[in-house]
Amino acid sequence: MELFEVTVLGSGSATPSLIRNPSAQLLNASGHFFLIDCGEGTQIQLRRNSIKLQRIECILITHLHGDHYFGLMGLLQTMHLLGRQAKVTLICPAELKEIIDLQNKHSQTGLSFPLEYVFTDPKKAQLVYEDKHLEIHSFPLSHRINCTGFLFKEKIGLRRIIKEKLQQHKISVAEINNLRLGLDVVDENGKNILNSELTEPPPAPRSFAYCSDTIYDERIVEYIKGVNLVYHESTFLASEIDRAKKTFHTTAAQAATIAKMSGIGQLLIGHFSARYGNTEDFLEEAKPVFENTLLAEEGKTYKII
């Protein structure tokens, strides 16, 4: 089974503190690294967790509040100083290009590697990335400024050959490829063989969604229905529900309600306000609504199943 797992690098909101870093998560999809948000200090968190930053191929930024991107210039600069040549794809709000260009202009920095931009649309869902294994869609969130979430969906893989069964037949390499594609084949004696005799279905594709800063908004449900693991912000506890609304954030129970309505597998909550030292209370408020809730813990990797 190919790897599909996410590591939390930052789980706090607003300001970095001694106990929590601002938002960042690293998705490892079949050995390809996607960095989602890049709060201040993310490159240190990557090092602390022994993640090679030059392996990051794609960086996704949800919105332009500092706790989600103030680590980006530092990270790009380090990649440059280490002599990176390989392209970095940056999926982000269009305004971020202006910020990066201005910083590079005044520091007279020409990056050693190409930056390829894909701009998110804050108004509607769209496909922002596609490769052999994976599709990424952005979708709108309701926050104080333009903000998008991201949905990562594995593609359906090829059918798997059952080796012991294959050994009982003489089949050409070309026909073995046809078997993987799901076609029936003819062996070297001219005998027809049904695909189902020699193969089994590919593993079910997995999905992960990242719902960054947002007010409680049931419109999210349509984008994350049935997803295996959903990260949803949970900045406040229920006692601060009015503050959550005023600042366009969510409480733990509200995040759990969205999870329940969406029929997802597991919920991961984070973006905890610095006012809370202990995060167990978040779990206590979320679990009665949606039992399968996990706390975002920095340095911890969550397998998406």
Residues at the site binding Zn ion, with contacts judged by CB under 5 A: 13, 65, 67, 213
Write down the residue that tokens 């999870």 correspond to: 259
Q: 20 or 137, CB closer to Zn ion?
A: 20
CB atoms within 10 A of CB 112: 13
Q: 138 or 207, CB closer to Zn ion?
A: 138
Q: 206 or 271, CB closer to Zn ion?
A: 271
Of the candidates 37, 67, 131, 187, the residue annotated as catalytic is 67
Q: What six digits make up the tokens of 146?
A: 């333009």
Angle separating helix axes 95-106 and 72-81, nearest 10 degrees: 50
C-beta of 49: minimal distance to Zn ion in Å?
A: 21
Long-range contacts of 67-70 (CB under 8 A, 24+ apart): 67/12, 67/13, 67/14, 67/15, 67/22, 67/23, 67/39, 67/40, 68/22, 68/23, 68/37, 68/38, 68/39, 68/212, 68/213, 69/37, 69/38, 69/39, 69/96, 70/22, 70/38, 70/39, 70/40
C-beta of 305: minimal distance to Zn ion in Å?
A: 28
Our answer to whether residue 67 is catalytic in this structure is yes
C-beta of 214: minimal distance to Zn ion in Å?
A: 9
Beta carbons within 8 Å of 204's beta carbon, 6+ residues apart? none
CA atoms within 13 A of residue 45's CA, in its CB half-sphere: 29
Q: What six digits make up the tokens of 71?
A: 């680590």
Tell me the three state secondary structure of residue 303.
strand
C-beta of 167: minimal distance to Zn ion in Å?
A: 56
C-beta of 175: minimal distance to Zn ion in Å?
A: 54
C-beta of 74: minimal distance to Zn ion in Å?
A: 18
DSSP letter at 12 equals B
Q: 13 or 266, CB closer to Zn ion?
A: 13
235/168 Cα distance (integer angstroms): 59
Q: 13 or 251, CB closer to Zn ion?
A: 13
Residue 253 phi, psi (nearest 5): -65, -35
Bridge partners for 56 per DSSP: 33
Q: 213 or 298, CB closer to Zn ion?
A: 213
| Residues annotated as part of the active site | 67
